Amino acid sequence: MSARDKTEEVLKKIHVYLATAEPFPGSSRKVVVDKNDFLGVLKELNVCIGEMIEEYEASEDSRDRATREHKKKSEEIKRDAKRDAEDIYAASIMYTDQALRRIQEAIDDARVKMGEVMSRTDDMLRDQRQIVKSNQMELISRLESLKDTDKYMRLITDENIRIQKEMEKAALDAAEAPKSDPATADRSKPEIRINTEYLDMLGLDVPLEDDDEGK
């Protein structure tokens, strides 16, 4: 039984004791009680009140301990949260540093690869230039071999004959076709001519048409 329950029992006992006590002669409010018995009941009440005070103090201590424990726990939680925040901040800095480092490495790698591509491209262009130059020299050599023969003039003559035939065929087709615009009827005959200036620049002799015709 708790001290509070014991106190309530003692108070009931005092109430019953006074209610059943013998009335004092000539008075309706006073009663006659046994001094030692009543002091014993009061002693019981004093003990109960003392126990209640002890329980209250114990509960206060418990609340104080609980408050201190709660405060201590709160401080620990704060310290843990602060430590976690610092760890997260440090981890974010490390991650950012690593990410930026990887970006720099990727840029350096891209620069190396671009340098390799540019080097290969330069080598390829140098080779292609050499091939073009070689073809140019071969062409010049062939032109040199043609200057003493009639092949050069024959090629030009054959081409002129081919163009003449195409023109004659076009004229025949135009005659058979509906009447065309007079403005386009008379056109000059195309003819291949020797570029003497280019041959002079190459240092080649200019073939003479009269020589070819004489042959």
Q: What is the pTM of this model?
A: 0.30
Measure the CA–CA gap between 125 and 161, rounded to whole angstroms. 41
Residue whose C-alpha is closest to residue 53's, from 17, 10, 6, 91 = 6
Q: Which two tokens stand for residue 167?
A: 């023109």
Q: What is the pLDDT along the chain (215 residues), one digit of tens a residue?
A: 677 778 888 888 888 878 888 888 887 788 888 888 878 888 888 888 888 877 777 777 777 777 777 777 888 888 878 787 888 888 888 888 888 888 888 888 888 888 888 888 888 888 888 888 888 888 777 766 665 566 666 777 777 888 889 988 888 888 876 655 555 545 555 555 666 665 566 555 555 554 444 44
